[in-house]
Amino acid sequence: MGRVDFNGRSYILNGEPVTIAGGTLQFFRVPAETWKDRLFKMKEAGLNTVDTYVAWNWHEPERGSFDFTGDTHPQRNLEGFLELAQEMGFYVIIRPGPYICGEWRNGGIPDWLIKEHPEILAKGPDGPLPADIYYPPITYLHPTYLEAVEEWYNAVFPVIKRFLYTNGGPIISVSIDDEPSYWETIFQPFLTDYNDPVVRPGGLWEKWLGENFELEVLRRRYKGNFHDYSEIRPPRSFSEPLPKLLDWHHFKIWMTNEYVRWIYERMERAFDVPISILDPYLLQLAWKHFFNYMRKHNLKVHVWTEFWYSFYRSFDFKEDRLGHVYYKTGVYRYHVKKAGTPPLSIETQVSLAHTIEPDEAELLYGLLPPLGIPNINYYLFVGGENPKGYESHNGVTWDVYSPVGLDGEERPHFGTIKAISEFLTNAEGVAEAELRPKVAVALYEPYEPVSLWAYDGLEESSDLNEYLLGERGLFTLLAMSNTPVDVIDLEDATLEEFLSYDQVWVYSLDFMSRTVQDKLVEFVSKGGNLVVLPMLPRYDENMEPYSALADFLGVEVEEAKARRNPRLIQFLSVSAEGIDRMLVRNTVRGVRGGEPIAFMGEKPVGALVRKGSGSAIVLGFRLQYYTSHHDLHRKFIWKLKELQGVKENFEVTNPDMIVLPMEGDGYAYLAVMNPRGHQVKGRLRYRGIEIPCLMDAIELKKRGVLFLPVGIKPGDVEVVYSTATLVKRDGDVLKFRNHLSGVSEVAIKGVKSVRAKCGEIIDELEENGVLTVLVEHPCEHFEIELI
């Protein structure tokens, strides 16, 4: 028998912390006679965990006829697969749905259920959705659907229970559904769900309104003279008031939460291992609603995330994707840290692209640990094939450049995964090390759906992907400006949380709630440093005039409608002290009040306001990342940090060498990356330590990531620093990896002499008890033997 515990970074199995290095092998797509070989290859890649779905429609092809032992098809032998995984020393994460997505027929929902009960399908405002879509969305809370799910669980749960880690088996977590988002129709304001249980008089919509709003509030909010909740029908077009559209969106989120709660209660009764879920809603800012709901109802759900950057084309992950990873991991860190559960990316892309270049794959995988996710599962690790009748939009073969192909072939990024896994599961203290940014971006959740809908009723452009989150967004600019950032929620974060940062950025559209505006006023008045762009809010959450933040700052931002047609959006030149002709996109608004710091011609378009010990920078334009002239924008970021006294605890001589410090108690791993691909050379200073000493500079010959140890103590010696990744200590041997340069520098305290293996010491220096050696190594791995 075993025990599964956890802390805020790792799973603890029988008292031992374990970093998850996992891969997805969907046994129902892989010939049973090859399972052992594929698992052996996963072991070779340094993986310790297998993740798999259990497809409802595969194991119950006809109502009431279940097969978990392979009687009707060898690939239905769930029990045999779990026995083999345990025999080969793997932990298992299992995902029994009911909905699995998985590019699988109906996402796992049985055809017989849909044919017998079409009423469970979600509806649009005009009735049923097309019958031939590949993932038919379900009305989650439909009682007929929940009855069928209960029957499925009654059959599959006893199998899972026998294989729990706590019962001597390999399963360490059971997952709820998959990406519950009405199959992404939650992104669209009016596509779902208008099914009868939702919209009928006395139905779920009416119930939700009554539990959350007084009628008087709704009269003001929706601009109507309502006498009863039944008079308030769900919105069906953008002609409805924006607050009503937002409430309809949040109501659908609530229905999803209620559904997850229903599933969780059944799993909690059956299982004594952690219950998990992947990415509720597929909406990052909306995660706040899930975490708040969990706390309210005491649901101990482990929330996991995912990273996808290409589907059915070549893998494309270069520096312009950094911003989205900084953003998504920032939102995730914010919530998971408060929940106290281990952060895990359960679907880290290693497939669904016709080629995946190892260097770009490494950039993605290497970014996740310093950005707060030391536990990584690679999806889809082993390629497979869809059994006849279970194809979806992906056709027959489901092997789109998986690290291990359908035929057992290892693709080039197999080695990348092996190297990352070896480091994460062996390096001293890496799981506990954390990013501790001095800068935060505070985001307002109602802007997320407004952006998704391309809502055009505001003065400012609601295209947050273009200006904030995407390839040319502000987050990418901050990343390429060597500015590590946290992401905090404007509504939920406390004043103390705001004040814990040296600088807080806020991206503002026309409206922002009164509570949030008042909080920002208090933040500045109590010594906080705020940057707000590209306007100041003029309205509150009910779209009624409210401008407390602008009034407090004494700043007026010019009214100007942003353009939406890309062919008509101009580039304008903005200047600042030491920065000439910085091109910015779309509308630039004049800023009156405060000390002017940025200009378009003679017109001030940015200002600094000091309020006691606090300050605010107001910009009337957007800051974005453009590869053609990004240096000017980076200089402007550095200028704004300087104006508000923000100083990082590291410095680099080459700004194209991006650094993310992972800090522990008295030690650190510096994730040093080359995201652009050309050769980068530079020196690094971290907390007073100059790196390197014997070499002129750290060299990064190509795209990739190194994890440089600083103050790591593997046993009785201290690695003061190294320009190579310290993988682990094995007896008297320190094992390093540097695939970005053929020369590495290692500084060690507590040893008089060392010998190099797989390399040659070409220079050395002993000073103040520290022995520094320069090692030339023909291969990416080399060793230092302590003598």
Query: Do 647 and 659 touch, CB atoms closer than 8 A?
Result: no
Query: Do 79 and 68 touch, CB atoms closer than 8 A?
Result: yes
Residue with structure tokens 């919509």?
205
Q: Is 319 a catalytic residue?
A: no
In whole angstroms, what is the distance from residue 14 CA to residue 1 CA? 9
In whole angstroms, what is the distance from residue 743 CA to residue 73 CA? 54
CA count, 13 A, side-chain hemisphere, 603: 14
Q: What is the 3-state secondary structure (H, E, C) of 432-496?
A: CCECCCCEEEEECCCHHHHHHCCCCCCCCCCCHHHHHHCCCCHHHHHHHCCCCEEEEECCCCCHH
Q: Is 179 a catalytic residue?
A: yes
Q: Which helix (H) or strand (E) holds 621?
A: none
Of the residues 60, 103, 206, 347, only one is catalytic, namely 347
Of the residues 179, 362, 422, 699, only one is catalytic, namely 179
The torsion region of residue 262 among left (phi > 0), alpha (psi -120 to 50) and beta comes to alpha
DSSP state, residue 331: H
- Alpha-carbon Rg for the chain, nearest whole angstrom, is 27
Q: What angle do CA 186, 187, 192 make, to 5 degrees?
A: 40
Work out the widest C-alpha separation in the chain, in whole angstroms.
86
Q: What angle do CA 5, 8, 14 make, to 5 degrees?
A: 20
Q: Name 9's Cβ contacts closer than 8 Å, sequence gap at least 6.
A: 17, 342, 343, 374, 431, 432
Residues in the chain: 787
Q: What is the 3-state secondary structure (H, E, C) of 361-425?
A: HHHHHHHCCCCCCCEEEEECCECEECCCCCCECCECEECCCCCECCCCCECCHHHHHHHHHHHHH
Q: Which residues are catalytic?
A: 179, 347
